[in-house]
C-alpha cells in the first residue's frame, strides 16, 4: 500500500542493548532539556504593569457603530444574527416614527439588540455579514462578571456613546 503523505517514519524494531535498557541516555536527554529551559528568558507578563501585545487579527468585544451624524447604522436586517454560528445575537426590528430622523439612519432600526457573550465564539462573521458596517469587534477583552446576566450585552452597552453636536 502506498503512503498518501511523506510523514511516515520507519520504526526501529531491533532489541535494546544494555545501556538502552537502563534508560540512562533517555534520562540524560530529559535532564538536558530541563537545564536548557532553566536559562531561557521567562515569558510571563506582569499584567497590570505590562500590557501584552495582541495579534493584528485579535477579536474582542463588539461595538455598534454610528454614522457621521451620530445616528445608528444598524438597520435590523438580521444578517449578523443569521451569520452567527453560535446563535449569540438576537434582535427585534421596529419602524422609525416621525421626528426620529436624527436617531436612526433608515426607516427600520433595531429596537432590541443583544449579544450573549457566553455563547459568542468571536469568529467575526457578524462583522463580515453586516452590509452597513454597523458592528465591529474591538481589541478589548470581555470583562468578568459574577452573574450570567452580566454577559448579555444590550443595545445600550454596545452602542458607541453619542457625541453632542455643537450649535
Helix/strand/coil (H, E, C) string of 57-119? CCCCCEEECECCCCCECCCCCCHHHHHCCCCCEEEEEEECCCCCCCCECCCEEEEEEEEECCC
> Is 46 annotated as contributing to ligand binding?
no
- C-alpha to C-alpha distance for 124 and 60, rounded to whole angstroms: 9
* 123 labeled part of a ligand binding site: yes
Q: Partners of 113 in the beta sheet?
A: 91
For residue 89, the cross-strand partners are 115
Q: Is 35 annotated as a binding residue?
A: no
Is there a contact between 31 and 124 (Cβ–Cβ < 8 Å)? Answer: no
Tell me whether residue 126 is annotated as binding. Answer: yes
Residue 62, strand partner residues: 137
Pair 146, 159: CB distance under 8 Å: no
Please indicate if the annotation marks 84 as binding a ligand: yes
Specify the pairing of strand 152-153 against strand 108-116: antiparallel
Is residue 114 part of an annotated ligand binding site? no
Is 10 labelled as part of a ligand binding site?
no
Going by the annotation, the residues of the binding site are: 74, 77, 80, 84, 120, 123, 126, 130
Going by the annotation, the residues of the binding site for [4Fe-4S] cluster are: 74, 77, 80, 84, 120, 123, 126, 130
Amino acid at each position: 500500500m502506498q503512503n498518501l503523505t511523506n510523514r511516515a517514519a520507519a520504526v526501529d524494531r531491533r532489541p535494546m542493548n544494555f545501556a538502552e535498557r537502563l534508560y540512562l541516555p533517555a534520562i540524560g536527554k530529559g535532564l538536558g532539556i530541563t537545564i536548557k529551559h532553566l536559562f531561557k528568558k521567562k515569558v510571563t507578563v506582569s499584567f497590570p504593569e505590562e500590557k501584552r501585545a495582541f495579534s493584528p487579527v485579535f477579536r474582542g468585544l463588539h461595538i455598534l457603530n454610528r454614522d457621521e451624524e451620530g445616528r445608528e447604522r444598524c438597520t435590523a436586517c438580521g444578517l449578523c444574527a443569521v451569520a452567527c454560528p453560535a446563535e449569540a445575537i438576537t434582535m427585534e426590528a421596529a419602524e422609525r416614527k416621525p421626528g426620529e430622523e436624527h436617531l436612526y439612519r433608515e426607516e427600520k432600526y433595531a429596537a432590541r439588540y443583544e449579544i450573549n457573550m457566553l455563547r459568542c465564539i468571536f469568529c467575526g462573521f457578524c462583522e463580515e455579514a453586516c452590509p452597513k458596517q454597523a458592528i465591529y469587534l474591538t481589541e478589548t477583552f470581555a470583562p468578568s462578571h459574577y452573574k450570567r446576566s452580566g454577559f448579555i450585552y444590550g443595545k445600550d452597552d454596545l452602542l458607541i456613546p453619542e457625541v453632542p453636536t455643537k450649535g
